[in-house]
Amino acid sequence: MLYDLLSVWFPRCCYGCGMVLPKKLPWLCFRCAAQLPRSYTERNINNPLKDLLDNRLPTKAAYAPFYFQQQNPIQHLLHALKYLGKKQLGAWFAAQAATFLPKNHPIYSCDAIVTVPLHPKRERQRGYNQIDLFGKHWAAHLKVPYVHDFLVREKQTKTLVRMAQTARWEEVKDAFRLVGNKQYRHVLLVDDVITTGATLTACGQTLLAGGTKNLSVMAMAHTHQVLP
């Protein structure tokens, strides 16, 4: 009864088109959900994302359930997660990936989850790291530790998308370090969106240099063509 009254006064709307949502649909209407650009790479270990990252970062697996596209509901969901305080979307993205990913995928052999960290100043401004719930959901799903304080960002980097290749790698150079001497057999490094791949690669290289034996990567989405 109370929910019905609140839904009249404060209706929940689809993040894709703005239509009022029924109770059972948390984020998108059926029409917008059908428009989400699935990657369909969960059964293809040697997929384009892994091939591109492997140029600089050796991985056992790389996966994102969706492609990032502008003017698509996926852009609106990620914007809401990152800038509108809709932290629960991180768990929703993780649940989508878990639904798609087969149980024999190499990611299921990971023994720790590490997220790409925000700079402390940026995290204080935003109030949260948008990747936290995504990482925590996967840690619970795999029954492995979520190691949120192992990899830290020391350098507040600029947006990399419009930079030339050399400038991107220079910008992320020495941006991350490890705290402690934990060593894991197979770390799953998670991010929200992979665009240039430079930040993710810098994190992964830091983990491998610190003793991590194997590395896999997962993101909520990635651009069709990650910049080399």
Token pair belonging to 52: 């591109």
Give the tens place of pLDDT for each residue, 135-168: 999 999 999 999 988 999 998 877 766 777 778 8
Where b means 16+ CB within 10 Å and e means fewer, 32-51 reads beeebeebebbeeeebebbe
Domain co-membership, 69 together with 81: yes
**pLDDT of res. 50:** 93
Question: Would you tell me how many other CB atoms lie within 10 Å of the CB of residue 173?
Answer: 12
**pLDDT of res. 183:** 85
Domain co-membership, 4 together with 103: no
**pLDDT of res. 4:** 47
Domain co-membership, 129 together with 201: yes
Token pair belonging to 19: 């239509």
Query: Which residues lie closer than 8 Å to 191 by C-beta, 6 or more apart?
Result: 115, 116, 131, 199, 200, 217, 218, 219, 220
The yes-or-no verdict on residue 42 having pLDDT over 80 is yes
Mean pLDDT within 182-209: 93
Mean pLDDT within 42-69: 93
Mean pLDDT of the chain: 89
Domain co-membership, 8 together with 88: no
Domain co-membership, 208 together with 152: yes
The amino acid present at 68, given as its one-letter code, is: F
Q: Residue 49's domain is classified under what CATH number?
A: 3.40.50
Mean pLDDT within 86-98: 96
Domain co-membership, 20 together with 131: no
Please report which confidence band the pLDDT of residue 2 belongs to, taking 50, 70 and 90 as the band edges.
very low
Domain co-membership, 30 together with 42: no
Domain co-membership, 11 together with 73: no
Distance, in Å, from the CA atom of 128 to the CA atom of 154, rounded to the nearest integer, reads 17
**Range of the structural domain that residue 100 is part of:** 37-223
Residue 228 falls inside a structural domain: no
Domain co-membership, 49 together with 135: yes
Domain co-membership, 28 together with 44: no
Burial of 145 (0-12, 13-18, 19+ CB in 10 A): middle
The yes-or-no verdict on residue 206 having pLDDT over 70 is yes
Domain co-membership, 77 together with 20: no
Residue 62 falls inside a structural domain: yes
**pLDDT of res. 214:** 97
**pLDDT of res. 228:** 55
Residue 158 falls inside a structural domain: yes
Q: Which helix (H) or strand (E) holds 76?
A: helix 73-83
Residue 77 falls inside a structural domain: yes
The yes-or-no verdict on residue 189 having pLDDT over 70 is yes
Please report which confidence band the pLDDT of residue 227 belongs to, taking 50, 70 and 90 as the band edges.
low
Domain co-membership, 124 together with 166: yes
Q: What percent of the chain has pLDDT over 90?
A: 68
This model's pTM is above 0.85: yes
Give the count of domains, the chain: 2
